Amino acid sequence: MHVHLPKPLHGWRAFAGEVGIIVVGVLIALSAEQFVETMSWRGHVQEARGDLRSELETDVAAAQERIQFAPCVARRMDQIDELIDNPPRHRWKLLPGHILVPIRVWSSAEWDSALATGAVAHMRGDERARYSQIYSLLAGLHPLLNEEFTSVTELSSAAVLSARRQKIVFAPMLRAFEGIMR
């Protein structure tokens, strides 16, 4: 078997040529890697946009429903005011068969997922700022929605109490609920 030994370089010019070939090869490899990574992130961002859009459509529908229910909620709050100011002597149901507000969960799971995967960091700055603003607003609404849900649950469970106990339990509970809703 015949083995070829490397030939010694003949001068700086030949050495620079060899180094130049290696540098060009490395630059080509790095550029190709960068291109593939950019295409991959572009796909992740596109998928995240679709997921965020779908989630926000659901949240907007819940907000529109909430706006449509506003007059009804105002009427029910007036009924609660009347019950607080003039409680009946007999046992009563607060709102037979109905809740005060539609209970909806305004989700931010897709935003949390997009943040965790890094897709948000690869969005354009203005787009990232808009999504961030929207989801910050939703995060601020979550405590209010949780309070509403808790209050509605407490009011519903207290409705089965006797008339005397209803007066004791309902007055402070209804005032607290009224503060949340108005």
**Which pLDDT tens digits describe the chain residue by residue (182 residues)?**
677 766 666 777 888 888 899 999 999 999 999 999 999 999 999 999 999 999 999 988 888 887 887 787 777 777 777 766 776 666 666 555 555 666 777 888 999 999 999 999 999 999 999 999 999 988 888 887 777 777 766 666 665 555 555 555 555 655 665 555 55
Residues 147, 177: contact at Cβ < 8 Å?
no
Rounded to 10 degrees, what is the CA torsion of 40, 46, 50, 51? 40
72-150-104-62 Cα dihedral, nearest 10 degrees: 40
Please tell me the number of Cα atoms within 13 Å of 56 on its side-chain side: 15
